[in-house]
């Protein structure tokens, strides 16, 4: 049982670059060594050809981030199997207020149990997974906001 728990805790991490080659580590935002104080972290895996990701989820995450960023909520998009240049082209023309990271090898996604998109995780300030949504829902924005509020109370 302890071995399984250890694997789960280790898998809730990443060290990835964004499309501008800036390095981001989840450990900087949650856990004992965090440099930035997060109360909740939303991590959403996407692909550019995922209609639900691009039309529903990313716009919803923009609104959620703007509403909750002053309450210690961070958002990371992770391009699952995506090319840095294609992601850079898209987000240069359609900017967001949070990091868009690249997992071109799908290594991080696989460690997190992601085998397709969309996939959204919400972690608390200790890097503990508190919610996971595989696939899309028409009430995505309302559901994610509800879960964030539960964590940051």
Q: Quick one: pLDDT band at residue 32, thresholds 50, 70, 90?
A: confident
What whole-number distance in Å separates Cα of residue 118 and Cα of residue 4?
Answer: 25
pTM of the complete model = 0.91
Residue 33: which residues within 8 A CB-CB, separation 6 or more? 27
What would the pLDDT profile of 44-83 be if each residue is shown by its tens digit? 999 999 999 999 999 999 999 999 999 999 999 999 999 9
H helical segments located in the chain = 2-11, 51-52, 58-68, 84-93, 107-111, 140-152
């Amino acid at each position: 049982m302890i071995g399984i728990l250890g694997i789960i805790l280790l898998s809730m991490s990443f060290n990835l670059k964004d499309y501008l080659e800036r390095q981001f580590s989840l450990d900087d935002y949650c856990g004992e060594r965090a440099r930035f104080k997060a109360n909740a972290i939303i991590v959403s895996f996407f692909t550019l050809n995922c209609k639900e990701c691009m039309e529903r989820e990313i716009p919803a995450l923009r609104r959620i981030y703007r509403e909750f960023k002053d309450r210690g909520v961070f958002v990371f998009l992770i391009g699952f199997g995506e090319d840095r240049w294609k992601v850079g082209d898209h987000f240069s023309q359609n900017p967001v207020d949070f990091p868009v990271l690249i997992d071109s090898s799908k290594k991080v996604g696989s460690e997190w149990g992601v085998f397709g998109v969309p996939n959204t995780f919400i972690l608390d300030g200790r890097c503990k997974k508190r919610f996971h949504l595989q696939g899309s829902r028409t009430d995505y924005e309302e559901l994610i906001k509800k879960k964030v509020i539960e964590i940051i109370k």
